[in-house]
A and B are shown apart, each in its own frame.
Chain A
Amino acid sequence: MTASTVERNRTQPRGVGRDRFENALFKILKPVVIVLLLVVAVFPFYYMVLLSFRSLDSLLQDPGALWISIDELDLSTYLEVLAPVSDGGQGFIVFMRNSLLVAISTVILTLLVAIPGAYAVSRLQFFGRRQVSGLFLAVYFFPAILLAVPLFVFFTQLGLRGSLVSLVIVYVSQVAAVSIYTLRNYFATVPVSLEEAAAIDGCSRLQTMWKISLPLAMPALVSNGLFIFMIAWNEFLFALLFLVEKRDSWTVSLGLSQLSGSIEVPTTVLMAGSVILTLPIIILFFASERLLVGGLTAGAEKG
């Protein structure tokens, strides 16, 4: 496909000049682009941390400052955002506890449900398997806002007593289908011969799954668990629909969004809240980045 173009270029001396020009251009352009991308991706997070350590007065006086000296460092924002409401704070400790509770329960329940499901879809021939796969795909692409309408009605009929448990159930139902999709690809990589050997040695199906397939798919399980944790920790729409009436059960995301609209809470205090919301995810991400990205790209080759 390229032969004619390449041929033309070789015979024209102009092509050599163009090659040298392009090489020089991209050599300069590349570091510029990388630095630019890095600034664009990271600067908002730096700004978030920076503002969280400043007081509102110093922000209003000098909005352009991108550096603060040690003596300017103001930790009171964190104390205020974390302290319980009764002590004049914003109660983010409670929100953190709620978010953790919701995210961890979602991870455990989803894996409990998705591991057998993924194994079945990847290994077993059963009636209606195609339909089940199609159904999961549909769930994956469905607009969440359509689901929000009946759930909103349901909770209104119940008298708006949104609980964390119902939130977890909705999260699990949303994430289970995706989990099955990612996990089944890994079960498919476990050699069938290993399972056959176990079967010949007298293992039942469940024993084979438990002793052979599961340990081999462990890295996939861990990275999938981390994904689910991130999704549940970051989620906003359903938390808004279910929990908004009850401040005690707000998640960190919901708390931040609700308080950012009010005038009484200074922006810098809410920036401390943003850091508290983002930090667990960033720590988790950098600690497991290799695993997460490795798992992702292994699957992405098919795409």
Chain B
Amino acid sequence: MTQLSGGSDLSGPPPVLRDDEDVRPGEHLVPTKPGRSRRSREENRAGLLLITPTLIIITVAVIIPIIWAVSLAFQKVRLLNIRRTGLFGSYTLDNFIEVITSPGFLSALWTTVLYSVLGTALAIGVGLIAALALRKPFRGRGIIRASLLLPYVAPVVAATFVWSTLLNPQFGFVNWFGQTVLGWEEPVAFLSQRWLPVSIFGVEIQIPIALLTVICFEGWRSFPFAFLFLTARLQAVPDVLDEAARIDGATPSQRFRHILWPQLLPTIAVLSVLRFIWTFNNFDDIYLLTGGGAGTEVVAVRVFDYMTARGDIGAAAAQALVLAAILAVLVGIYLRLFGRQEEQA
């Protein structure tokens, strides 16, 4: 799902497995034992029948392609000889060795991690500030809240296009503003320049400007998601706690630190993992903003380039597989840490 849902849907709660707690409806309708087993047999059949269409479509369009992708990762396949490639070729580890030893891969992996961690932190940080600022009802809060969700629901292609127009060095508004109001000496190529020298207190430092820009874009685009979740959680905090602390003379920052923060922490943890996974997989945003240039190449964009520009299918599949493996480990940790905890909560 990831890109598709993570990028743009509002599908809401993280799907957490909750198998054990289900009641079995209809179980006590037929109390006698033989009837009960007939009933459960019938239930088994009905359940399988109802889930079958979903299973078929997921098998055809997800599971079989992924098995194929794994098999491609272990073969020397190029786009040129693709027509002759089947499921049974000569398997080899060459792709993985080649991919991992090529210097670009590790740096792309590092960029991916940096992009995911900082993008996630920015999104959750801004989302938290927004949720706190809009906590108390006031006139017009509804429309403001809805407007803050715009970056999240808008199509990614339109959002990236507007950003690159805004940041355009020739006629973009940001550079015009920087030059005429803030007194920049020359326009900044936010999306095509790798390093921007900036002098702070006389010390010149190099800022990875393109990477920072795509991270800001990620924060801008996904802070509404965190905002929405945190707002919902804030509404569930009992007012009594806050009132009691206020009467006891706790200052606003103390009330946040000791009352709200512990309540929000589980939500923030879940959000961090979800946003990290989606950002880690993200292809659209960086491909559309920079094409992976100027030090913004993440693994997903690299896979795409290997696949389309170089036509090296085997290497592309191998890199995608490494990405998926890292992710599988992370999801495993997530489920171990939070899957059980949620059931009790």
Contact = CB atoms under 8 A, between A and B. Distances in A.
A53 interface: no
B22 to A, nearest CB: 8
B339 to A, nearest CB: 10
- The prevalent SS among residues of A at the interface is helix
Interface in B153-180: 153-159, 161-163, 165-166, 168, 170-173, 175-177, 180
Interface in A210-256: 224, 227-228, 230-231, 233-238, 252-254, 256
A31 to B, nearest CB: 9
A299 interface: yes
Nearest to A284: B153
B44 interface: yes
B327 interface: yes
Given A151-B65, A227-B11, A274 B161 contact: yes
Interface residues of A, number: 133
A81 interface: no
Nearest to B180: A64
Contacts of A150: 65-66, 68-69, 72, 317
A37 B19 contact: no
Interface string B183-200: 000000000000000000
Contacts of A224: 11
Interface size class on chain B is: 35 or more
A73 interface: no
Given A34-B144, A44-B163, A45-B154, A146 B267 contact: no
A262 interface: no
Interface string B254-273: 10001100100001001100
A127 B48 contact: yes
A177 interface: yes
B96 interface: no
B304 interface: yes
Interface string B122-137: 0000100110011000
B98 interface: no
Nearest to A274: B158
B155 A147 contact: no
B10 interface: yes
B205 to A, nearest CB: 26
Given A47-B173, A113-B53, A300-B232, A130 B19 contact: yes
A7 B296 CA distance: 51
Contact of B258 (A1, A60, A149, A236): A1
A125 B251 contact: no
A114 B155 contact: no
Interface stretch (B56-64, B101-109, B207-215): B56-64
B32 to A, nearest CB: 16
21 contacts: A2-B250, A34-B133, A63-B172, A117-B54, A126-B44, A130-B19, A132-B55, A133-B19, A139-B1, A140-B15, A144-B1, A150-B68, A151-B65, A170-B61, A177-B58, A185-B13, A199-B26, A230-B8, A254-B157, A257-B161, A300-B13
Closest 5 CB pairs of A and B: A126-B47, A173-B61, A124-B47, A299-B13, A120-B50
